[in-house]
Amino acid sequence: MTEELQWIKQIRLKSNKTAANQLIAKYYKEMYAYVYKQTLNKELSLDLTQEIFIRVLQSIDNYDERKASFRTWVYRIATYRIVDYYRSKYYKYNSLVTLIDDYDIEDDEDFTISVEYKEDVEKVMEIANKLDISNQQVLRLKLFADYTFKEISEILQVPESTVKTKYYSAIRKIKKDLEEW
């Protein structure tokens, strides 16, 4: 039995805090990076990552190691949480207000590049957030978690051809909307 599965067993049987901390520590940076790539906001990424791990610990009894690796299962939870966030009223309200404090101003050129990059990412995310959930999941796992089509098909439990179709249709939609913008 791997160390990870031992931690999961200890959490399930004894609510072992040490095992929970070790399990979270193993994946925390990776999940934070996955969330940050999609939000470009440190505080929000920290909050969402915390919520993801709370959900992981609350639902760890539902994890089945025969169906997917723990890492895959955590990514699935993270993807759902990010989709939920972008559909929330909180996001819609905050997207109306852009705080200049989010930007570090070192010199005008770096600042301009930083703002343009963030605006481009925000445009792409705005378009992606309008896609249906299954297309969003495929897109997020491919672009932000660097999963292969095969891995995504295992995570979402759909055929690899379906994953490719959803991914390429999402990319076409994003390109089309960006051209119209």
Based on the fold, state whether residues 118 and 150 are members of the same structural domain. yes
Residue with tokens 């009223």: 89
pLDDT at 92 over 60: no
> Which of 57, 73, 97 is at the close of a domain?
97
The pLDDT score that the predictor gives to residue 103 is 45
Mean pLDDT of the chain: 83
Question: How many angstroms separate the CA atoms of 134 and 17, rounded?
Answer: 34
- Torsion from C-alpha of 113, 141, 161, 159, nearest 10 degrees: -170
Find tokens 């089309």 and name the residue: 176
Domain span at residue 172 reads 100-181
- What CATH number is attached to the domain comprising 64? 1.10.1740.10
Query: Quick check: 179 pLDDT over 90?
Result: no
- 98-109 tens-digit pLDDT: 444 444 444 445
The candidate with the shortest Cα–Cα distance to 123, out of 46, 62, 179, is: 179
Q: Token pair 């959803």 is at which residue? A: 166
pLDDT for residue 1? 59
Output the pLDDT for position 126. Answer: 83
Last residue of a domain, one of 62, 97, 132: 97
Give the tens place of pLDDT for each residue, 129-144: 888 888 888 988 888 8
78-89: per-residue pLDDT in tens?
998 998 888 876
Total of domains in the chain: 2
pLDDT surpassing 90 at residue 31 = yes
Average pLDDT over residues 14-38: 92
Six token digits for residue 78: 């993270």
- The answer to whether residues 132 and 45 belong to one domain is no
Do 145 and 77 share a structural domain? no
Residues 116 and 41 in one domain: no
List the end-to-end C-alpha distance of the chain, in Å, as a whole number: 53
* 92 and 5 belong to one structural domain: yes
DSSP codes, 105-127: -SSHHHHHHHHHHHHHHHHHHHH
Q: Are residues 92 and 151 in the same domain?
A: no
Judgement on whether residues 174 and 105 belong to the same structural domain of the protein = yes
Which pLDDT value is given to residue 168?
93
User: Of the residues 50, 82, 97, which one is the last residue of a structural domain?
Assistant: 97
Burial class of 29 by CB neighbour count within 10 A (0 to 12, 13 to 18, 19+): exposed
Give pLDDT, residue 46: 95
CB-based contact 49:32 (threshold 8 Å): yes
Q: Is the pLDDT of residue 94 over 80?
A: no
Q: Do 165 and 140 belong together in one domain?
A: yes
- Cα(163)–Cα(177) distance, integer angstroms: 21
